[in-house]
Structure 1
Amino acid sequence: MLLNTHRSQLVVVDVQARLMPAIAEADQVLANTGILLKAARRLGVPVTATEQYPKGLGTTVDTIAEALPPEAVVVPKITFSAAGNAAIAERITSLRGEGRDQLVICGAEAHVCVLQTALAFRNAGFNVFVVADAVSSRSQHSVNAACARLLHAGCNWVTTEMILFEWMERAGTDDFRALSPLIR
């Protein structure tokens, strides 16, 4: 199944100031999350961002917060799965009611909040796409275990470039000219 901008929504999980310094390949996660946000803004893909216990882990990293589209919603949570937070679950489910049944997920940590969010929404009937080069954990072993478990559960393991090219659909458009420099 290919991603489609009219069916997609982007969920940025816990890309927070006090958490990211401990995350393996954090610079890559931040860069690719930024690319996904620029594409979502350009292509009209709704964005929901979560913050796990912001009092302890801080708020969303400044560069990511600044890249959020104006209509994005940022919701604090204490549940590891975003689906366990009523406000987040309601937003994501209401967007599915508008035909947005494809959930693109990036963030941290791959084996905790990303995994639990992806599995919960997969079990709720969403088509889930976890962005391999925009998720990480404190150790690569945890990322590998998350990948295996997510694939086994029927989630898709994709890359930032896969998402952009599927969302753009074709070359030669204004969107292609605007977004292709992000992945060169």
Structure 2
Amino acid sequence: MLLSHERSVLVVVDVQERLMPAVHEGERVVRNAGILLKTAALLGVPALATEQYSKGLGPTAASLRDLLPPDAIVEKLHFSAAYEPSFMNRLDALGRDQIVLCGSEAHVCVMQTALGLRALGRTVWLVADATSSRTPANAEAGIARMRANGVEIATTEMVAFEWLHRADVPAFKSVLAHIK
């Protein structure tokens, strides 16, 4: 099944200022999450972000905060956002059935959110190159477990071009500029 910008929601999980320096290739995660947020904005894909215990881990990375609507960030204490009523209320209100996830850490909050959403019957895509953990082994194990449990694995460019669907749409050149 292909992604549709009309059916998708982008969820950025816990890309927080104090956590990202410890995350393996954290700059890549922030950069690719930014590309996804810019593409989502161009194509009308709603975006949400979660923050795990922001008092300790800090807010969402500033470069991403600037790309999010003011009310898009949801604080959580559960590792899985699927168990946070405030997050699920926001997600359900959007009325979209394709959930595109990225963030950190792949083997904890991202995985638990993905598996929790799958348990609720949601279709979930993980953007692997916009996701990581403190160690590569943990990231790989989290991605493998998500794949084994029915989560579609994609890359930033796969998502962007599936959302675009065609090269002759007005947003194509702008999206291409973000990717390059």
TM-score range, shorter-chain basis? over 0.9
* Counterpart in the other structure of 1:91: 90
Give, in whole Å, the separation in 2 of the partners of 1:7 and 1:174: 19
* Counterpart in the other structure of 1:30: 30
* Counterpart in the other structure of 2:14: 14
Unaligned runs of 5+ in 2: none
Give, in whole Å, the separation in 1 of the partners of 2:30 and 2:146: 21
Are positions 1:169 and 2:168 aligned together? no
Deviations 1:61-83 (A, max 9, x none): 11110111x36511111110001
* Counterpart in the other structure of 2:116: 120
Give, in whole Å, the separation in 2 of the partners of 1:135 and 1:142: 11
Give, in whole Å, the separation in 1 of the partners of 2:61 and 2:39: 18
CA RMSD of aligned residues (A): 1.0
- C-alpha contact 1:81 1:114 (8 A) present in aligned 2: yes
Amino acid at match of 1:145: A
Give 3-state SS (helix, strand or coil) of 2:66's partner: helix
Give, in whole Å, the separation in 2 of the partners of 1:11 and 1:72: 13
Per-residue deviation, 1:93: 2.0
**Quick one: percent identity of the two aligned structures?**
51
Give 3-state SS (helix, strand or coil) of 1:5's partner: coil
Per-residue deviation, 1:178: 1.4
Deviations 1:120-165 (A, max 9, x none): 0011111100000000000000011111111110001100000000
* Counterpart in the other structure of 1:45: 45
Give, in whole Å, the separation in 2 of the partners of 1:158 and 1:61: 23
Structure 1 segment 126-165 matched on structure 2, within 5 A: 126-165=122-161
Amino acid at match of 1:7: R
- C-alpha contact 1:14 1:60 (8 A) present in aligned 2: yes
Unaligned runs of 5+ in 1: none
- C-alpha contact 1:46 1:71 (8 A) present in aligned 2: no
* Counterpart in the other structure of 2:100: 104
Give 3-state SS (helix, strand or coil) of 1:59's partner: coil
TM-score in terms of structure 1 length: 0.95
Per-residue deviation, 1:94: 2.4
Amino acid at match of 2:146: L
* Counterpart in the other structure of 1:65: 65
Amino acid at match of 1:164: A
TM-score in terms of structure 2 length: 0.97
Q: Which runs of 4+ in 1 moved over 4 A?
A: none
* Counterpart in the other structure of 2:76: 77
